């Protein structure tokens, strides 16, 4: 599987906002703000270029470990995916030969615990992606933050590409490249705030 999609979670690296010092245990753990965040998927047609889609519904949570590291969990609702391309592409993506939305509505990502500095400094985030009931290790790229408070004052940007073959999506090889791209722009909110 290609390692580079950082995402979904992805979407979300809200780790850098949790301070890595003993007082962090008393600080509230931020939550992913799905209304202010954005999750997209893209596939590359062999002829015709890139087709992108937007997940209209996703959620995620953060967990702080006793050692200060952070773990992210993200759930994308594939049934609420809206493609910007033609109708036949939307139907193909939802079909049993691709995302199989009727049987596998959700896509899940769970990161391995990572240091909170990752959302500020950038780097690689490892974890597991569950797609079509297939679980595979993935590695996503987290971009260095463009502000001092990533997730609040600027997006946490996570992106990368996974191999669709590794998740059992082997159809449409004539007109679709193997890579499926994910791109997440994550915003955070304090726990309990709307």
Q: What is the pLDDT of residues 50-103, one digit of tens each?
A: 889 999 998 888 899 999 999 999 999 999 999 887 788 888 888 999 999 999
Q: Is residue 3 part of a domain?
A: no
Distance in angstroms (rounded) separating the CA atoms of residues 83 and 187:
22
Q: Residue 29 has what pLDDT?
A: 74
Is 104 inside any structural domain? yes
What pLDDT digit, counting tens, does each position of 144-173 carry? 999 999 999 999 999 999 999 999 999 888
Residue 1 forms part of a structural domain: no
- Residue 171, domain extent: 14-189
Q: What is the pLDDT of residue 93?
A: 87
Terminal Cα distance for the chain, rounded: 37
- Kindly state whether residue 4 falls inside one of the protein's structural domains: no
Supply the pTM of this predicted model. Answer: 0.81
Whole-number Å distance between alpha carbons of 105 and 178: 21
**Inside any domain, residue 149:** yes
Asked if residue 114 is part of any domain, the answer here is yes
> Is residue 8 a part of any domain in this protein?
no
């Amino acid at each position: 599987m290609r390692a580079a999609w950082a995402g979904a979670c992805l979407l979300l690296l809200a780790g850098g906002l949790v301070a890595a010092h003993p007082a962090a245990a008393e600080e509230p753990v931020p939550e992913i703000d799905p209304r202010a965040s954005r999750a997209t998927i893209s596939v590359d047609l062999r002829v015709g270029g890139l087709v992108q889609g937007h997940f209209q519904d996703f959620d995620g949570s953060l967990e702080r470990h006793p050692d200060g590291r952070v773990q992210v969990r993200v759930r994308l609702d594939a049934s609420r995916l809206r493609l910007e391309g033609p109708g036949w592409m939307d139907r193909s993506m939802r079909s049993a030969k691709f995302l199989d939305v009727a049987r596998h509505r959700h896509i899940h990502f769970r990161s391995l615990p990572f240091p909170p500095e990752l959302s500020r400094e950038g780097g690689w985030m490892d974890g597991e992606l569950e797609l079509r009931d297939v679980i595979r290790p993935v590695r996503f790229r987290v971009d260095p933050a463009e502000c001092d408070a990533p997730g609040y004052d600027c997006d946490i940007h996570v992106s990368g590409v996974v191999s669709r073959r590794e998740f059992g999506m082997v159809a449409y090889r004539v007109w679709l490249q193997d890579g499926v791209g994910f791109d997440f722009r994550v915003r955070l909110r304090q726990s309990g705030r709307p």
